Chains A and B, each alone.
Chain A
């Protein structure tokens, strides 16, 4: 089961085009679109109405998007298992290979646009841990501005602070850190001095999806990064990644 999310900021607006079909199949019109947000330390659910473009797509427009809202597809019947105290897997409609994704598009006010096929898998909401992502792989020295979004969705309806660090792994030094929060679309501007091959973005406590934005002359680029386990296909992947994360955790701790 996948969740979808957007971004609201002073610089960008966003919209989400949610398909009503699996990528190998036909549309299933029994699935509605629901919105989740946190109220009084509980998950609050709301059905979204009249968002159909047609039988194939829902469109979540900028006025419906906030940084603490998430969206998902479910049938009326699925909601019998909805739990206010934690995110629960309600169906498997969005479990597919390749992954079931919505298009998350950002627009620059008065300028261009960029998008990527986006999803936040339910099993990620159950985990705590560390993000590890190279800054210069995606941030662009040629751009006027670079940002990174860290989207976290955690199963419990909590808004807890945690940290994102910019770490020089050659010199084993923290160069900058910013406080961000769980169950939120966090937007952080990246200083150009941090765009170097040896600098990695790392979080403590919680995982999430890092998505980079670059901006120049009203043009935009927007793309998520790979988690480290995508680089290793052999059985030693978790050993190698754990070793690297341990090394980096020693720097941030």
Chain B
């Protein structure tokens, strides 16, 4: 009986009920994730004269001595429309990709992208890797301001085998009500303006509130919200791990970091 209750409590619905009631809430879970490459929902920007540099490590070579691995990038618009997939072989230990409008079919906007590591070699079932990577954002061709990945979102089988699980299982968990609370631990009064980039890391619709303003993000969508002159920023959401990437502006300078 006890094990049956435990099984139910750890299903997607069970976790959502627990999260709604605040009873042993689970914001993040890797239950059911096996032999996977996990990616953050990374932000790309080509709007407002931005370009993005992405730096990533060949994890399978560095830690597992698998030297023929490759990566795939999947780029999406902020409405979750696939723009393109890119594949790179012959990786160095450390690699970089410049993301500008030329790379993204002329698009000057913002959205999300994901990186997955794959190998054709046999990999143990219990292996899970995550490339948190580093992103640099340059505005008006000035120095890139770097920040690392902010929120684990999607995963793929390390041998690039398709499975139902990777489309239906979320690492970041949700609740039926907006009881996820996250107050960014910085003071925002000194800036000309602040932009907050949010990506929906789940396969569900999520809601969030900043002050009295309510926002909705459908599956895979992303949004930049501008704010000015705030003492602090509090985010309430039905997503239990929703952290923005922050762009602070002062005069001609920008500063990008994770919340």
List A residues at the B interface (Cβ < 8 Å): 17, 19, 21, 23-25, 53-54, 56-57, 59, 97-98, 100-103, 105, 111-117, 134-138, 140, 142-143, 169, 197-198, 200, 212, 214-217, 219-226, 228, 230-236, 240-241, 243-244
Contacts and interface: CB of A to CB of B under 8 A. Distances in A.
A142 B132 contact: no
10 contacts: A19-B186, A23-B182, A25-B181, A115-B186, A117-B257, A221-B146, A226-B148, A228-B63, A231-B57, A232-B130
Contacts of B131: 231
A135 B146 CA distance: 14
Nearest to B34: A234
A234 B259 CA distance: 25
Q: 3 smallest A-B Cβ distances: which pairs?
A: A197-B92, A112-B253, A219-B143
B28 to A, nearest CB: 9
Contact of A142 (B27, B143, B181, B248): B143
Contacts of A216: 142-143
Interface stretch (B12-20, B68-76, B121-129, B199-207): B121-129
A244 B126 contact: no
B183 to A, nearest CB: 5
A113 B182 contact: no
B229 interface: no
Interface residues of B, number: 51
Given A19-B183, A212-B146, 12 more contacts: A25-B181, A59-B187, A114-B145, A115-B248, A142-B143, A214-B144, A219-B142, A219-B143, A223-B134, A234-B126, A236-B124, A240-B63
B143 A221 contact: yes
Contact of A103 (B27, B144, B187, B253): B187
A166 to B, nearest CB: 14
Contacts of B144: 140, 142, 214, 221
* Residue among A24, A137, A140, A241 facing the most chain B CB atoms (10 A cut-off): A137
A117 B59 contact: no
Contacts of B243: 98
Interface in B73-128: 92-96, 124, 126-128
A56 B258 CA distance: 19
Contacts of B219: none
B63 A56 contact: no
Contact of A219 (B64, B96, B241, B253): B253
B29 to A, nearest CB: 12
Contacts of A217: 142-143
